Structure 1
Amino acid sequence: MEIEIATIGGYEEVGRQMTAVRAGDDIVVFDMGLNLSNVLIHDDIRTEQMHSLDLIDMGAIPDDRIMNDLEGDVQAIVPTHGHLDHIGAISKLAHRYDAPIVAAPFTLDLVKEEIQDEGKFQVQNDLIEMDAGETMPIGDRCELEFVNVTHSIINAINPVLHTPEGAIVYGLDKRIDHTPVIGDPIDMKRFREIGREGQGVLCYIEDCTNANKKGRTPSEAVARSQLRDVMRSLEDYDGGIVATTFSSHIARVTSLVEFAEEIGRQPVLLGRSMEKYSGTAERIGAATFPNDLGMYGHRKSVDRAFKRIMNEGKENFLPVVTGHQGEPRAMLTRMGRGETPYELDDGDKVIFSARVIPEPTNEGQRYQSERLLGMQGARIYDDVHVSGHLSQEGHYTMLDALQPQHVVPAHQSMKGFSGYVDLAAKQGYNLDRDLHVTSNGNVIQLV
């Protein structure tokens, strides 16, 4: 059986992930993502109303025209998790393919919201919910399997396409976490089984976000402990405390809510994406929040919440807001510019339970946000966080578990691939033989 891999997006940058695997006449597409940086760099861009070709031209979504070179039919579109760099282009591209969208429950709910918000295209693909540990047939000779992984969002999976020539493991995005705050630990047992059963692993496509970082990525339990320590150290502070984190990081949001109550403050979730992700997680039963927890997304309701906080006393509340990357329209950025009813005073605390995504646009926006907050007297607690991606020791562990015949680094620029190339070389892989460093728009023929 011929096996080809089309590296469509995410092989020259962090974002707009899209990969297609052809096994004989059957094709599976993994991820259809957005490059947020190429959107945020423009003022007042509303992608919902834009045509896919315009978004392709500005580098915001994958250029999927290479799919015309693959001789087969798409049988499934499979997003690995609900981050926008993996699902943000589904509403623009999925309608081109007569194939269902297959995803874990939380991811599928977020995909539904993306489709509902779409203003340009009608996406009518069937939506199929599949849990980790389940399988579905792909054509007559292949099978799709979901393996549970841990990441900075709930319900993340690594899909595996089982073919007669061996398994194709699509390894974006994960860390090896044996003590997650929400959900099950990563299923390393299943990865080891896949590496040793049948024909083994023909190819492993790997997320290289932290491949230049030594050591291992800590568990979310470590971030939770750090966050509790910071929050308890502020227990006696009688001024304003504001926290920000990834809206999609439900485990972190639940920790912030819990610790706010521990120190006698009422948590309030503010911002459109904060309301969206937490509301979705609660609705499908993936997370539990207090009955009286306020979640406000629309501008007017957010400003009413801020006015209530100011009237009843900042010392009684913990606003958990959007804006950890300094996004221009996010709540924290507006607070820094003095555009909300919430007034920052000298000594007020701002907790960034997130790191800066290492990309120039984000770094510049985050720097500006912190400067604006500092000019109003705020004190910054930075990087109370652990990454959702493997560091070097995690990559060694995965290569040892899977023992793939071929490896394809993904989810980075050429510079970002360098650490992974070095560590894969130490494991016996050679460039252009079984280690395939590629770019967007290429096809790798494995069999």
Structure 2
Amino acid sequence: MTNSNAHSTKKPNLRVIPLGGLHEIGKNTCVFEYGDDLMLVDAGLAFPSDGMHGVNVVLPDTSYLRENQKRIRGMIVTHGHEDHIGGIPHHLKHFNIPIIYGPRLAMSMLRGKMEEAGVTDCTTIQTVGARDIVQVGQHFKVEFIRNTHSIADSFSLAITTPVGVVVFTGDFKFDHTPVDGETFDIQRMAHYGEQGVLCLFSDSTNAELPGFTPPERAVFPNLDRHIGAAEGRVILTTFASSTHRVAMILELAMKHGRKVGLLGRSMLNVIA
């Protein structure tokens, strides 16, 4: 066999290209590539540091995606935080993403962002649920595995490729008492572990610290005490996407006979 024939029969490699989100908080954007297929996982933004005067948001360098946009088969979204979906409307103005798969809450939040940016007709949005499997291109089969996080409706991914299974955890923590009752699907994760995993890409925020991350419900007793004891108004701040926190506040407001007023565009968009 000549060298040219050997080269022509060589199988393609699986390439995983993080464009953002490594060694930093924000800009989570990852590319999976095999043969002629490119699949994106998340596309987030970051907020500027103190030295970035006049900068509103920070996005990763997507020149590789613009140069190879004809090979993009679709995008997978793990959850609805800004550092995972905030860059999508911007990207849709510069390259084509045929279809975006993601959980219902994240896709609802994304639709609002796309309407505001005027790019609603630039892609197709498909909502998914726990243990749903989608095919992206010829070479990627993705199963959505329910996990627990500080935002509701969050997923890890089991990505089946021609060379093996890649587990992509997304952002997660093991919360055994989730506010919405949706527990981490550890059984499904164990299934893939028994079958054999080629590679694990895991969230590692604060992984170097000892101990464990407290559950979302841990703030409930203190909120209950302060809201119950307050004689006047109670002012609380939280990320609009922290739907678990908002749900607890609404629950406690009902318990203590209080009215709730929402303030802020993002809060109104997410909750209303």
Give the TM-score range, shorter chain: 0.7 to 0.9
CA distance 1:229–1:108, change in 2 (3 Å) = same
Cα distance in 1 between the residues matched to 2:38 and 2:132: 19
Q: Aligned AA for 2:104?
A: P
**Corresponding position of 2:31:** 20
**Corresponding position of 1:7:** 18
CA distance 1:105–1:145, change in 2 (3 Å) = same
Asked if the contact 1:172/1:207 (under 8 Å) is kept, the reply is yes
Cα distance in 1 between the residues matched to 2:223 and 2:19: 38
Q: Deviations over 1:130-173 (max 9, x none)?
A: 11210012333431111111111111111221113221222221
**Corresponding position of 1:112:** 111
Q: What percent identity do the matched residue pairs reach? A: 29
Asked if the contact 2:37/2:138 (under 8 Å) is kept, the reply is no
Asked if the contact 2:227/2:234 (under 8 Å) is kept, the reply is no
Specify the SS of the correspondent of 1:201. Answer: coil
Asked if the contact 1:91/1:123 (under 8 Å) is kept, the reply is no
Structure with the bigger RCO (C-alpha within 8 Å, sep 6+) is 1
Structure having the higher Rg: 1
Specify the SS of the correspondent of 2:144. Answer: strand
| 1:264 Cα deviation from its structure 2 partner | 3.1
Cα distance in 2 between the residues matched to 1:158 and 1:183: 17
Counterparts of 1:272-311 in structure 2, within 5 Å, are 272-279=265-272
Query: Quick check: 1:32 aligned with 2:43?
Result: yes
Which of 64, 67, 75 is residue 66 of structure 1 equivalent to? Answer: 64
Cα distance in 2 between the residues matched to 1:40 and 1:28: 34
Cα distance in 2 between the residues matched to 1:185 and 1:163: 27
Asked if the contact 1:22/1:70 (under 8 Å) is kept, the reply is no
**Corresponding position of 1:221:** 217
Number of positions where the alignment pairs a residue of Structure 1 with one of Structure 2 = 260
Specify the SS of the correspondent of 1:8. Answer: strand
* TM-score with structure 1 setting the length: 0.54
* TM-score with structure 2 setting the length: 0.86
Asked if the contact 1:170/1:206 (under 8 Å) is kept, the reply is yes
Aligned CA RMSD, in angstroms, stands at 2.5
| 1:123 Cα deviation from its structure 2 partner | 5.5
Query: Quick check: 1:93 aligned with 2:91?
Result: yes
Specify the SS of the correspondent of 1:133. Answer: coil
Specify the SS of the correspondent of 1:103. Answer: strand
Specify the SS of the correspondent of 1:37. Answer: coil
**Corresponding position of 1:258:** 251
| 1:39 Cα deviation from its structure 2 partner | 9.8
Runs of 4+ displaced beyond 6 Å: 68-72
| 1:68 Cα deviation from its structure 2 partner | 6.4
**Corresponding position of 2:77:** 79
Asked if the contact 2:135/2:141 (under 8 Å) is kept, the reply is yes
| 1:98 Cα deviation from its structure 2 partner | 4.1
**Corresponding position of 1:207:** 203
CA distance 1:39–1:172, change in 2 (3 Å) = farther
